[in-house]
Structures are given as C-alpha cells and as structure tokens.
Amino acid sequence: MKTEILELVKNSPRLVAVHDKKNWVNLFSKDSVIADPIGTRPVSHQNLPKFYETFIAPNDIVFEEKIDIITDNQVARDVLIHTKLPGGLRVKVPAHLFYKVEKNKIQTMYAHWDLMAMVIQFLSKKGALKEMVGLSTRLMKNLGLLGALGFFKGMVWGIKGKGKKAVHKIFTKHDLRPFGPNTKIELPVEKKSITPKEFFNKGLDLDIGRITSAGWYTTFSFKADNKFGIGRLKFSPVNGKVTSAEIFLN
C-alpha cells in the first residue's frame, strides 16, 4: 500500500517533466487543494488547469529527490526542484512537499519553499526582467488579479526567520517555550500524538539540516539515530507560538 502511494505521488513530477497536463490533473481528486508554495492563495481542482498553464506548461521542471517518508495515506518529501524557464534562465528551489492521498487520488499537496529567496535568486540572473514580465502576464491571464496578488503575498506574509530560530531553539536547545500551551507533536508514521516533553524524553537528538519558512509554517529536514526525517511546525499569526507540530521519521 505504501509503495503504491509513493508511486502515485512520484507520478506528479514525472508527468510534469513530460508536460502531460491531462494525466497530471487526473492525479488529483475532485475536492483536491494545493498550495504551491504555502503562503500563497490555495488552488482548487477546478483551477488546476490554469495553475498548470501558469507555472508548469512553459517551463522544464525536474525533481531531485532527497528524502521520502510514507504513512498509510501521507507522503512527506524533501526535494530540490530544477526549473528551466522559457528564456533559458535556470533556478533551483529546495522544497518540502506534503501529500495526502485518498482513494488512489492526491487530495492535498502543500509545497513549502521560500518564495522570496527564489525571487532573489531569480533576479540575480541575466534575463530575469523578461522572465518576470512573462510570469506576471501569465498570472493575470490565467488566475486574474486576485490570483496574482494571492501568489505574490507569499513573499511578505508569514513567520519568516522567527520560525527558523524557533526550530533551533526547540530541537537543538530543547527549549519548549515556543510551543502553545496545548500543542502536541504528531508522529504520523507511528500514529501517535505526544506532548513536547514526552517527545524529548524519547532521547532523540535531531541533527537539523535545511530549514524553510513559508507562510505561517516552518519545515525542516533532520537526521536522528541514523534515520532521516522531516518536521513541520505551524505558527499562530497572533502570538507567534507553535500551534501544531508534525515529525515524520522513518
């Protein structure tokens, strides 16, 4: 079952790479929602073809896979996305991807990558202005003004660097103060929900790798006891406290 779920999820970048729009859209359930990246306006199944035409159709996209962790109906991925834009400009985007699968269809896909960092990388390259004009034109044509504004808000809206500091504070220094009073840590692979104190009583030492903040989430890769994992924290926009936490560990 887990192998089938992973293959379904891996079919998404495979179909993107060969520009198979019809079969890519058909991977998703009728009630599916994607956010790519988190912090931008979510896209419903009805608008997937427009999303495809805006961000996928004109580009050549290849995934470099780092970590895959599978539960009964979820996949957490650490990937490096290589994109060649229409004018030949190339960018690399490290991302954490979280999929939920129901009835052999992708129900949700949440991509966590730093939109501002990507734009800075993008603008540092020759030919960036022309590519930016092309992207803005496609956004307006396919997603409208609200869609365009919903995309670009991802550059300024969210927890940003405070989330990255919280990851180190929690998992390197074992400081539990960033957690909200009733927040628990979900362990999807083990199907458990435990308190932060119980988590650290397990004696796991997390060697934190790449950290990404997108919207009000911060995700991170780590190594613990020679196993690789991916974590995801959600922060409150009101007080900056962690309101939910997930640790995916093989």
pLDDT tens figures, 95-145: 999 999 999 999 999 999 998 888 888 788 787 888 888 888 888 888 888
Q: Which residues pair with 28 in a beta bridge?
A: 106
Mean pLDDT score across all residues of the chain: 93
User: Strands of 185-187's sheet, edge to edge?
Assistant: 192-194, 185-187, 242-249, 227-235, 217-224, 207-214
pTM of the model: 0.94
27 pLDDT above the threshold of 80: yes
Single out the residue of 87, 82, 70, 51 nearest to residue 9, CA to CA: 70
CATH 3.10.450.50 residue ranges of the chain are: 2-155, 161-249
215 pLDDT above the threshold of 80: yes
For position 183, what pLDDT does the model report?
Answer: 97
Tell whether domain 2-155 is in CATH 3.10.450.50. yes
Tokens of 103: 């009835």
Tens-digit pLDDT profile for residues 55-82: 999 999 999 999 999 999 999 999 999 9
For position 151, what pLDDT does the model report?
Answer: 80
Q: Establish how many alpha carbons lie within 13 A of residue 208's alpha carbon, considering only the half-sphere containing its beta carbon.
A: 18
84 pLDDT above the threshold of 80: yes
Tens-digit pLDDT profile for residues 92-102: 999 999 999 99
The CATH classification number of 161-249 equals: 3.10.450.50
